Amino acid sequence: MTTTPTLPLNDGSRLPAVGLGTYPMTDDEAATAVAGALRMGYRLVDTAAKYGNEVGVGRGIAASGVPRAEVLVTSKVRGADQGYEETLRACEQTRRDLGLEYLDLYLIHWPLPRVDKYVDTWRALVQLRADGLVRSIGVSNFTAAQLDRLVAETGVTPSVNQVELHPGLPQAELLAAHAERGILTQAWSPLGRRRLLDHPAIVEAAGNHGVSPGQVVLSWHHQRGVLPIPKSADPARQRENLDIFRFALHEPEMERITAIAGPRYGGDPDEHEEF
């Protein structure tokens, strides 16, 4: 079993420095992948109502044999459930589907600025935390301006912002904004859909350290203070993704990887609509 370091949140909690993503697994795929990953040493599992696999994730947690107190579970409010009362009901359904009494981290999946309900949704998350149904609260795919609006209107700063982040989209400005506000950055699609792993800067660093290109990219995240959430249902790749803490990239390697130019694969937070 691999021991994973942890990263602090602004609410006093801590999260493992790498997690297991589950999109777009089915319930059956998620049940198998989550159970195996937890037995392997993963302790942070990421899902969302929108993924349609919360039941499977819950089955995997139950089948793993790992005590509930050792597993940190993240889920997200989908766009169709935004709003204060709607979010309270959505969290209840998510906990029921997962078979859990509480969530360790609950996020707003997308801001949906046209709908303009994310502040009320955030107030619901604050209430869920006060009620003990959620341990930590945060957001996903928010811009710095949207984060500031949450704080201005509620006085509560998110603990986490989970965003698309990979060597092709290093998000330097947003990382700096998070650091100023005490928000932990999580990365979805941290390997850039594996489309950048043959880039010379990554391949060269992998050769220098005797590791895989994927491990290089995940280490690059970790050394930037980012918590990556790679998705894999393959046990060998899960093990590889967890084994990134025994080497460190040199600063020139970090700089070359950060300079890789690539596309944004997901939506623009100012325009994307997810329901």
Cα within 13 Å of Cα(134), Cβ side: 28
Long-range contacts of 200-207 (CB under 8 A, 24+ apart): 201/167, 201/253, 201/256, 201/257, 201/259, 201/260, 202/167, 202/257, 202/260, 204/253, 204/256, 205/249, 205/253, 205/256, 205/257
Asked whether residue 46 is assigned to any structural domain, the reply reads: yes
Asked whether residue 112 is assigned to any structural domain, the reply reads: yes
Any idea what the CATH number is for the domain that residue 140 is in? 3.20.20.100
Contact status, residue 190 vs residue 166, Cβ threshold 8 Å: yes
- Express each pLDDT in 188-245 by its tens digit: 999 999 999 999 999 999 999 999 999 999 999 999 999 999 999 999 999 999 999 9
What's the whole-model pTM score? 0.97
Overall domain count for the chain: 1
- Express each pLDDT in 107-149 by its tens digit: 999 999 999 999 999 999 999 999 999 999 999 999 999 999 9
What would the two tokens of residue 109 be? Answer: 């999946």
Q: Please, is 149 exposed, middle or buried when counting C-beta atoms within 10 Å of its C-beta (0-12, 13-18, 19+)?
A: middle
Mean pLDDT of 249-267: 95
82 is in which domain, residue-wise?
15-192
Q: How confident is the model at residue 275 (pLDDT cuts 50, 70, 90)?
A: confident
Asked whether residue 180 is assigned to any structural domain, the reply reads: yes
Specify whether 51 is catalytic: yes
Asked whether residue 211 is assigned to any structural domain, the reply reads: no
Asked whether residue 39 is assigned to any structural domain, the reply reads: yes
Asked whether residue 222 is assigned to any structural domain, the reply reads: no
Q: How confident is the model at residue 1 (pLDDT cuts 50, 70, 90)?
A: low
Asked whether residue 128 is assigned to any structural domain, the reply reads: yes
Asked whether residue 215 is assigned to any structural domain, the reply reads: no
Q: Please, is 155 exposed, middle or buried when counting C-beta atoms within 10 Å of its C-beta (0-12, 13-18, 19+)?
A: exposed
In angstroms, the CA 245 to CA 1 distance is: 13
Catalytic residue selected from 23, 42, 51, 106: 51
* Maximum distance among all Cα pairs of the chain, rounded to whole angstroms: 53
